[in-house]
Amino acid sequence: MFSKILSKNEDRKMPRMLLLLLLLVLALAMTQCTSSGGDDGDSDDAADTTETTDTADSGDTAEAADDTITLAIEHFSVIEGTTWSGAHNRAGQRLADKYDNVEYVFREEVGPDVAVPYAEELIANGADIVIGNAEFMGLPLEEIADQYPDVYFGSIIASDLSTKRNFIRLFPRQYQALYLEGLIAGALTETGNIGIVSAFPSVQVIRRTNGFVLGVQDAAEMLGKDVNIYVKYAGDWFLPPEERGIAETLISEYNVDVITQQTDSGSPLDVAVEQGIWFVGKDMDIVGFYGWADTDTVAVSFDTRWEVLYDQMINEFMAGEQNPETVLYLGMESSITLADGTEVTTVDIMNDGKVGIDAISPAALPSIPQEIVDLVAQRREQMIAGEWDPFTDHAFISNGT
């Protein structure tokens, strides 16, 4: 099996293992460092602050405190119609529902130039934990962390891993769910060609791509298939016309019949619907939560539950922890129970409201051999138990550079 990275102007082919080696070297150069799926984009204006307050009962640590704790999230983009900021917003709402002493407030379309002044305004209005939901606009919060020693600040990890006592960096192990998606995609392709509409090379993108490619590799080896993966970069996170053009090119010129993305617009999904090929989603259950397509197109998605990471920050804050954990890199082994009693892991495959192997599209399932379905179930259970990880299971060789 081979992976091919296609630049904007030319095609470059390389053996799959060499690509994986190069990608992993870059990824491991930033240990415990990944980044946002919709994490980088520019915006200068912020929308009005809103908040939700929980009325549910809970016996967790956070509930023991008498004082209200305010979680403030600065979103780099709008919330409505987005999977990245949408997932962060859902996390804030779920935590406000979970704890009767937690409030959630937010700002939308926050750029790096206004991240600090809006954070100071939020703090003046009672914010105890302030999050920048993308690295490019969250890093400026480090500048004011010392000025507000009683406030926790947080930022998504992209490539930088700066921390302070109260400046916390976080990212989920999305690559684990992407590995499971890769198993499904590798089994589904009939042409032997899978396409990825990607943003640009970054630690976050590289790590997630690695997870997906390893899943495709394992499926191909198990089924005796020869599978190519074509990656083409758009150059940024949210470029709908460029993303559409890449998706169309991958289909017309490279004969892909399964496509996924490391970008943030719905254009690749639109093209998949129009062309009648399989789509593999990211960041949220785009069928169950947004209804952007149905399971006749979406073979599977993965869902990110940022609330698992924010929950740890809230509980450490409630406990009066002056030296909280400053790098949160949680995966499927970590979970919380929501207000309605549902237990959610940090990431999981999800589609049309269903998780695990039930998330595989009913229309896709007949095309997936049972041994792949069984492997998806097995690896998912092992990752939830903390017993297996795609990055430790596969051997890689570095040339030392």
Residue-wise pLDDT tens digits, 147-158? 999 999 999 998
* Interval 73-102 mean pLDDT: 95
| pLDDT at residue 118, rounded to an integer | 98
Tokens of 149: 């020693």
Question: Residue 264 above 90 pLDDT?
Answer: no
Mean pLDDT lowest among 55-69, 127-141, 231-245, 322-336? 55-69
**Comparing C-alpha atoms, which of 254, 266, 249 is closest to residue 229?**
254
Domains in the chain, please, with CATH?
2-29+174-304+345-393 (3.40.50.2300), 50-172+306-330 (3.40.50.2300)
Burial 295-332 (b: 16+ CB within 10 A, else e): bebbbbbbbbbbbbbbbbbbbbbbeeeeebebebbbbb
* Interval 139-144 mean pLDDT: 98
| pLDDT at residue 63, rounded to an integer | 45
| pLDDT at residue 175, rounded to an integer | 98
| pLDDT at residue 6, rounded to an integer | 61
The pLDDT confidence band at residue 3, using thresholds 50, 70 and 90, is: low
Instruction: Give the mean pLDDT of the chain.
Output: 87
- What pLDDT, in 10s, does the model give residues 358-371? 999 999 999 999 99
Instruction: List Cα–Cα distances, 176 to 180, 182, 239, in angstroms.
Output: 7, 10, 26
Percent over 70 (pLDDT), the chain: 82
| pLDDT at residue 2, rounded to an integer | 52
Question: Residue 312 above 60 pLDDT?
Answer: yes
The pLDDT confidence band at residue 1, using thresholds 50, 70 and 90, is: low
- Crossing angle of helices 84-98 and 307-318, in 10° steps, is 40
Question: Residue 392 above 70 pLDDT?
Answer: yes
Residue reference for tokens 């570095």: 398
Beta-bridge partners for 74: 107, 132
**For the chain, what is the radius of gyration of the CA atoms?**
20
Instruction: List Cα–Cα distances, 32 to 156, 193, 315, in angstroms.
Output: 12, 31, 22
What is the DSSP code (8-state) at residue 109? S
Question: Residue 28 above 60 pLDDT?
Answer: no
Backbone angles phi, psi at 311, to 5 degrees: -60, -40
Phi-psi region of 198 (alpha: psi -120 to 50; beta: other; left: phi over 0): beta
- What pLDDT, in 10s, does the model give residues 342-361? 999 999 999 999 999 999 99
**Comparing C-alpha atoms, which of 254, 266, 276, 248 is closest to residue 363?**
276
Backbone angles phi, psi at 347, to 5 degrees: -140, 155
- What pLDDT, in 10s, does the model give residues 242-261? 999 999 999 999 999 999 99
| Residues 203, 307: Cα–Cα separation, whole Å | 22
Question: Residue 15 above 50 pLDDT?
Answer: no
The alpha carbon of residue 54 and the mean position of all alpha carbons in its chain are separated, in whole angstroms, by: 26
Mean pLDDT lowest among 48-62, 151-165, 199-213? 48-62
* Interval 112-118 mean pLDDT: 98
| Residues 203, 216: Cα–Cα separation, whole Å | 20
